[in-house]
Structure 1
Amino acid sequence: MTTRFDTVPETKGTADVAEAFSEFMTAFDAFKETNDRRLDEIERRHADVVTEEKLARIDAALDQTRARLDRIAVKEARPALGAPADGRRAALDLEHRSAFEAYVRGGVETGLRAAEAKALSAGSGPDGGYLVPQPIEAEIGARLAAISPIRALATVRTVSSATFRKPFRTAGPEHGWVGETAARPQTDAPTLAELAYPTMEIYAMPAATQTLLDDAAVDVDAWIADEVETVFAAAEGTAFVTGDGTAKPKGFLDVPRATEGSWTWGKLGYVATGAAGAFATSGPGDALIDLVYALKAGYRQNATFVMNRRTQAAVRKLKDANGDYLWTPPAAADGKATLCGFPVVEAEDMPDIAADAAAIAFGDFRRGYLVVDRQGIRVLRDPYSAKPYVLFYTTKRVGGGVQDFDAIKLLKFGTA
């Protein structure tokens, strides 16, 4: 089978999406056929190296085609910079955008100072940079949600302070059943604790020539959003998964773990596969079923599998007792693959399958993980440090951490 990858420009349009999706489904059909042959050869104790190599090539082809489809979908999801709202706010936004463009193109700060004074902005200035206009900030946030897998799944809150604090109940309130005329004894009050999510600074430093900035045809708003989205998304994606909470958000894999039977609040529960660095030889898919049902029903209805592409490649080969594949391709070009009936999201920062690695997470991430964005993205223009280029030191503040330790479960590739 010959499958083409990235030979067609990834422009917007239904034709590109349809072609990429058709290639993906063709590759998956070939994958199933070759994997069935491989399993049959293993059962007959006559495994063919040629079949193994062919399966590996088709598996790689499947990943490449899916990646191309995802890139097209991300481009389709990018919002356009919209016009500001009506009224006084519209006038302020338009003034801010005009002043910001003058600052980016020529370093003129006077208009920005006046615009931010009218908007009662605080904490900006020539030393710390100037706030980007709200439409640009909103577009950057929307683009990050489209390409950052955990941000797209999690709850996102925007705050104006350095730390977001969220109370939660550790015990109570007490309750009881009583008859219609029976006395109502006083109950104990609920016990509350607090989770804190400090926002940390993340930065990008796109560079441009003065010739580019002098070109009136260049949309500087879109240019800045284009330059910083990938940098921010990559850094956030890593932090939300494995961040240690020091100068970055705390990732859900940095949280203490416990076997599901001894789970307590403050830890993430896990299910073991029964084999070190692999699925069990007998009934390899059973661990995935156990993982699904380790999650309470209230979380399970909105749950998602999270893993990297190499783990997903291993999962694609698994079948249930009836010989049906546990992994199913998306039903539409803009859909997600499913595993055991639940959507699968690729996060490249998830670990590979290895001894005792938690390579698969499953849960309701909207209830389980919180992303905190502090209002305001700042840009500091630096025409001196890298002549003849003009640098734009762009910063935003973001925090994150687990908010419900019962909403996410892990699959550990180990014996216990």
Structure 2
Amino acid sequence: MTDNTDLETQRLETKAGGNVGAAFEEFMRAFEAYKDTNDERLADLERRSAADPLIDDKLARLDRALDETKRVADRLAIKAQRPQLGTGGALETAAVEEHRRAFEDYVRKGETTNLSRLEAKALAVSTNSGADGGYLVPPETERAVISALKDISPIRAIASVRQVSGSVYKKPFATTGFATGWVAETATRSQTTTPTLAELSFPTMELYAMPAATATLLDDSAVNIDEWIAEEVRDTFAQQEGTAFVSGDGSNKPKGFLDYTKVADGSWSWGNIGFIKTGVDGAFPAAGPDKLIDLVYTLKAGYRAGGTFVFNRGTQAAIRKMKDEDGHYIWQPASAAGEPSLLLGYPVVESEDMPTIAVDSFSVAFGDFRRGYLIVDRVGIRVLRDPYSSKPYVLFYTTKRVGGGVQDFNAIKLLKFEE
């Protein structure tokens, strides 16, 4: 996200006054203005077979405004739902509170005695702990980071997520099943066969962020250290994860769903991702909605029920202009802040890591990602305090281990922009 985009987001948040309802109303006004301008563009095309450049420019501005107002409304909705960290209270156990205080002493002052004692007591020390690998953050801080990642990491929000304590998660699946069928009440039953099993492996890889703090910030008792660390690392983690889950090559990072072998859906087999073509190089055909409908119906009914579209902002801008044969827009705005927009009745997730529309690009994905893509989180986020490398700043080398890959190759299909 660019600095200009951040400034525009801040301006819109200020204009909304932190009110989710006001921000969402602004989004709906932007959508109505967008529809009116696009209708004007389509009418101009019918009259003159060419669009007015001024109308195109206005439509592009409204398209950007639509994205920004939706982003602001969603961000305010998430903020309103996010719990505060480190507030203590009756529900916080003595052990968790002790860990939090020890962790705060470590972050603020570099004091390790209490944390070392607690981790040794909990049998949580490994070969990657202590002075070499840092110390585990309190459980509430880890929950806050993971929760925030789900809010802002597009694929994590729609995929399956499993926590593990080891470095690799292995999932068996059957390549052939038990013999089965219908039989008369007294007829002879054939002996069932043993299923043939194979195994999918999802190794976890180390992801890191390194926020820096001043001595003034660490000395300020009013600063909630748990919240500061969670806020500093979550955007970095989310950006790196988002790219890996889409296009990661599996080398020291998760394997993205676009990195698997892709085959025409008519020749699909397990282990590959199926696709259909638009029929036009680097563009949607004139009957654009038809190919999106075809993409939806490449999935079996059981997967369509949980289907979600995934594409980037540029592709969404092209799709927003499309209408069905009855003149209705196929893209519809969210019904409330924090909810996804809809395309052909299915949720839309915007991921800037999806390819921009070009010749032979796979710019649109559709599928049941909860069944299709698995994210594996190893329990524990670690922090190593480094006051020496960048004096006068204190660095906090923060790591988590995460893996990912396709777990059901039936569940995800792609649209290829090729003739």
Q: Distance in 1 between matches of 2:10 and 2:241?
A: 27
Aligned CA distance change for structure 1 residues 5 and 83 (closer, same or farther; 3 Å): closer
Q: Which residue of 2 aligns with 1:59?
A: 63
Q: Does 1:104 align with 2:107?
A: yes
1:40 maps to which of 40, 43, 56: 43
CA separation of 1:211 and 1:12: change in aligned 2, threshold 3 A: farther
C-alpha distance 66-90 of structure 1, shift in aligned 2 (>3 A): same
Between the aligned partners of 2:68 and 2:15, the Cα distance in structure 1 is 17
Change (3 A) 1:30 1:206: same
Instruction: Give, in angstroms, the shift of residue 176 of structure 1.
Output: 2.3
Q: 1:148 aligns with which of 141, 144, 153?
A: 153
- Whichever residue aligns with residue 395 of structure 1, its letter is T
CA contact (8 A) 1:299 1:407 kept: yes
Instruction: Report the 3-state secondary structure (helix = DSSP H, G, I; strand = E; otherwise coil) of the residue aligned with 1:393.
Output: strand
Instruction: Please give the alpha-carbon distance, in whole angstroms, between the structure 2 residues aligned to 1:113 and 1:78.
Output: 30
Question: Quick one: distance in 2 between partners of 1:82 and 1:319?
Answer: 50
2:24 is aligned, of 21, 24, 31, to: 21
Q: What is the CA-CA distance between 1:260 and the residue it aligns to?
A: 1.2
Q: 1:177 and 2:200 equivalent?
A: no
- Distance in 2 between the 1:57 and 1:109 partners? 53
**What residue is the counterpart of 1:270 in the other structure?**
275
Cα distance 1:153–1:82, how it changes in 2: closer, same or farther (>3 A)? Answer: farther
Match of 1:342 in 2: 346
Percent identical: 60
* Structure 1 residue 10: Cα displacement: 5.0
Please tell me the residue identity of whatever aligns with 1:72: L
The alignment status of 1:90 with 2:93, answered yes or no, reads yes
Residue 3 of structure 2 corresponds to: none
AA partner of residue 303 (structure 1): G
Q: Which residue of 2 aligns with 1:360?
A: 364
How many residues align? The count is 409
2:322 maps to 318
In the alignment, the residues of structure 2 paired with residue 100 and residue 129 of structure 1 have an alpha-carbon distance, to the nearest angstrom, of: 11
The DSSP-based 3-state class of the residue aligned with 1:42 is: helix
Q: Distance between the aligned counterparts of 1:121 and 1:257, measured in 2?
A: 42
Q: Deviations over 1:361-410 (max 9, x none)?
A: 11111100000000111111111001111111000000000000011111
The residue type equivalent to 2:121 in the other structure is K
How far is 1:56 from its partner? 1.8
Query: What does residue 208 of structure 1 align with?
Result: 213
2:380 maps to which of 361, 368, 376:
376
Contact 1:242 1:253 in 2 (8 A): yes
Structure 1 partner of 2:170: 165
Contact 1:96-1:116 at 8 Å conserved across structures: no
Q: Deviations over 1:192-221 (max 9, x none)?
A: 100000000000111111221111111111
Where does structure 1 lack aligned partners over 5 or more consecutive residues?
none
DSSP-derived class of the 1:253 partner: coil
**Where does residue 304 of structure 2 map in the other structure?**
300
Match of 2:4 in 1: none
Q: Quote the residue 2:198 is aligned against.
A: 193
- AA at the equivalent of 1:193: A
Residues 209-218 or 312-321, more deviating: 209-218
Q: CA deviation at 1:290?
A: 0.2
Amino acid of the structure 2 residue aligned with 1:42: L
Residue 78 (structure 1) shift: 2.6
Cα deviation, residue 92, structure 1: 1.9
Give, in whole Å, the separation in 2 of the partners of 1:39 and 1:146: 36
SS in structure 2 of the partner of residue 409 of structure 1: strand
Q: 2:132 and 2:111 mapped to 1: Cα distance?
A: 14
> CA offsets, 1:67-102, max 9 Å, x none?
222322332343322667989x92221221111111
Residue equivalent to 1:256: 261
Which of 144, 162, 171 aligns to 1:139? It is 144
Go from structure 1 to structure 2 and tell me whether the alpha carbon gap of 1:9 and 1:284 turns closer, same or farther (over 3 Å shift). Answer: closer
The answer to whether the 8 Å contact 2:86/2:226 transfers is no
TM-score, normalised to structure 1, is 0.94
Equivalent in 120, 134, 150 of residue 123 of structure 2: 120
Structure 2 residue aligned with 1:407, among 400, 405, 411? 411
Work out the CA distance in 1 between the residues paired with 2:66 and 2:167.
43
Tell me, in whole angstroms, the C-alpha distance in 2 between the residues paired with 1:145 and 1:93. 23
Separation in structure 2 between the aligned mates of residue 12 and residue 378 of structure 1, nearest angstrom: 37
* 1:229, distance to aligned residue in structure 2 (A): 0.5
Give the root-mean-square deviation of aligned CA atoms: 1.9
Matched residues in 1 for 2:350 and 2:213: separation? 33
Q: Deviations over 1:140-178 (max 9, x none)?
A: 111111111111111110101110000011111111221
Distance 1:30 1:380, change over 3 A: same
TM normalised by structure 2 equals 0.94
Counterpart of 1:376 in structure 2: which amino acid?
A: G
Deviation at 1:6, TM superposition (A): 4.4
Q: What residue identity is the alignment partner of 1:240? A: F
Q: What residue identity is the alignment partner of 1:394?
A: T
SS in 2 for 1:252: coil
Q: 8 Å contact 1:167–1:192 — kept in the other structure? A: yes
State the SS of the aligned residue for 2:185.
coil
> Which residue type is aligned with residue 203 of structure 1?
Y
